[in-house]
Structure formats: structure tokens, C-alpha cells
Structure 1
Amino acid sequence: MSANSRLTIAAHALAWIGLYQRQGNEVATSEQIAGSVNTNPVVIRRLLGDLRRAGLVESRRGAGAGWSLARELDAMTLLDVYEAVEPGPLFAMHRAQPDPECVVGSGIQPALQGIYEGIEETLRRELARVTLEKVLDDVLAVPR
């Protein structure tokens, strides 16, 4: 299994847009953001679409097209971003029902369910504590 980077890329994009707007720019293009992330603009547009549906960014079409923040970075948490780009549970159970006649097969899901719920609750609580403003502040504090 490989790690999912959607939350990281979405946080990167939001911090980049926030800084870009602070520098006096009104909207950012997906191409500009993709350059910072070093990915294809299509990847950025898909993520920004999820962020738009969650009310975190706005898009403008036509002349002067691009993306802007729908609210300030200090009013967005990593939990907001996580919920926008990772709508499902952190951990899933089997795709097919395990063998109910097997002692492990019949008991594995109930055994893991509570553990997974506790991990998810802890993750959500920690993500809710961190604003995108804090993320950008930490980015800007990294020695170059």
C-alpha cells in the first residue's frame, strides 16, 4: 500500500494561494499552483474542485480566470481540508465478508472497529487544532 498525498497537496495548494493573495494577486491559476507542487495541473484542478465543493476556494472563469480562497487561512483547519479531499473513513473493512465459520473471520471486524474509530477520532481532533495560517507560518519559518 502506498500513502495518500491528497491532504498534503491540498494543504500545499491552499497555503500557496494564501501567500500569493497576500502578495497582492487576486487569483491563481492551476498551472501556477501545479508548478509549486511539481505535478500536473489536472491533479490540482481535481483537488481544487473538491475544495470548492467544501467552500474553501472559489473559481473564476473567463478573463482573469483562476482560484482564490473562499475564506481566510486562519478560518480553515487541516480537518476542513481532510474532509474535503478524503471523505471516506481512514481505514476500511474487508471488501468481501470474511468467513463467518472461522474464529478469526467472524471476529476480526468487531475487534478492529473500535480501534479504528479511536484512531480516526484522534486524527480528526489533531487536524482540527491546526489552521492553514499555522501551516503557512511554519512554511515561511523554514530556513532556506
Structure 2
Amino acid sequence: MSANSRLTVAAHALTWIGLYRRRGHEVATSEQIATSVNTNPVVIRRLLAQLRKAGLADSRRGAGAGWTLSRDLAAITLLDVYEAVEPGPIFALHPAAPDPECVVGHGIAPALTAVYDSIEAVLRKELARTTLEDVLQAVLKAT
């Protein structure tokens, strides 16, 4: 099973747009963002469409088309980004109900749900503590 990178790519894109704006540019194209992320512009457009729906990004059409932030980097947390691109839980139970006659099959859902709920609460708390401004400052220190 491979790790999911949607949160990372979305945070990268939004942070890049924020820095690009600070450097005097009004809008960023999905092609420019995709170059930084090293992915296809279609991947960026799909993610940014989700971020727009969540109120984190805006798009412009026509002359000067591209993407902008809906709010400052300091007002966007990693939790905001996570909720925009990962609407479901981190972990899921079986897609089909296990055998209820089996001891493990009967009790696995309640046993794991408690653990999964606890992990989800910790994750959300940590993501809420970090803004994209924090991410940008850490990026700039690393260069």
C-alpha cells in the first residue's frame, strides 16, 4: 500500500501560490504550479478545483487566467487543506461486513473504531496547529 500524497501536493500548490503572489504576481497557472510540484497540470487543476470548492483558492478565466488564494496563508491551516482534499476518514473498516459468527469478525469493528477515532482526533489537532504561513516560513529557512 502506498502513502497518499494529496495533502502534501495541495499544501505545496497553495504555498507556492502564496509565495508567487508575494513576489508580485497576481495569478499562477496550473502549469507553473505543476512545474514546482513535478506533476501534470491536470493533477494540479483537479486538486485546486477541490480547494476552490472548500473556499481556499479562486480561479480566473479568460485573459490573465490562473489561480489565486482565497485568503492569506496565515489564515489557512493544514487541517483546512486536509478536509478539502481528504473528505473521508484516515482509516476504514472492512468494505464488506465480516462474519458476525466469528469472534474476531464480530468484535473487530468496535475495537478498531476506538483506536481510529483517537488517531483521527490527534491528527486533526496537529494539522490545525500549522498554517500554510508556517509551512512557507519553514520552506524559506530550508533554502
Q: Same fold (TM over 0.5)?
A: yes
Distance between the aligned counterparts of 1:109 and 1:2, measured in 2? 23
Structure-2 separation of matches of 1:56 and 1:111: 36
Report the AA paired with residue 42 of structure 1: V
Work out the CA distance in 1 between the residues paired with 2:112 and 2:38: 37
Partner of 2:97: 97
> What is the one-letter code of the residue matched to 1:20?
Y
Which runs of 5 or more residues in structure 1 are unaligned? none
Give the TM-score normalised by structure 2. Answer: 0.99
Cα distance in 1 for residues equivalent to 2:110 and 2:69: 42
**Which amino acid is the alignment partner of residue 24 of structure 1?**
G
1:65 aligns with 2:100: no
Distance in 2 (CA, whole Å) between partners of 1:110 and 1:139 is 41
| Residue 94 (structure 1) shift | 0.3
Letter in 1 for 2:105: G
Q: Give the counterpart letter for 1:109 in structure 2.
A: A
The alpha-carbon deviation at position 11 of structure 1 amounts to: 0.4
Cα distance in structure 2, aligned partners of 1:137 and 1:10: 17
The 2-side partners of 1:110 and 1:16 are apart by: 42
Cα deviations by residue, 1:23-82 (Å, 9 ceiling, x for unpaired): 000000000000000000000000000000000000000000000000000000000000
| Residue aligned with 1:59, SS | strand
Query: CA offset at residue 117 of structure 1?
Result: 0.2
Matched, 1:45 2:45: yes
Length-normalised TM-score, structure 1: 0.99
Task: Give the RMSD, CA atoms, in angstroms.
Answer: 0.4
Runs of 4+ in 1 over 6 A off after TM superposition: none
Aligned match of 2:54: 54
User: Which residue number in structure 2 is paired with residue 129 of structure 1?
Assistant: 129
Deviation at 1:142, TM superposition (A): 0.3
Query: Following the alignment from structure 1 to structure 2, what is the Cα–Cα distance between the partners of residues 79 and 86?
Result: 10
Instruction: Please tell me the residue identity of whatever aligns with 1:35.
Output: T
Instruction: Give the percent of matched residue pairs that are identical in Structure 1 and Structure 2.
Output: 74
Q: For 1:51, what is the secondary structure of its paired residue?
A: helix
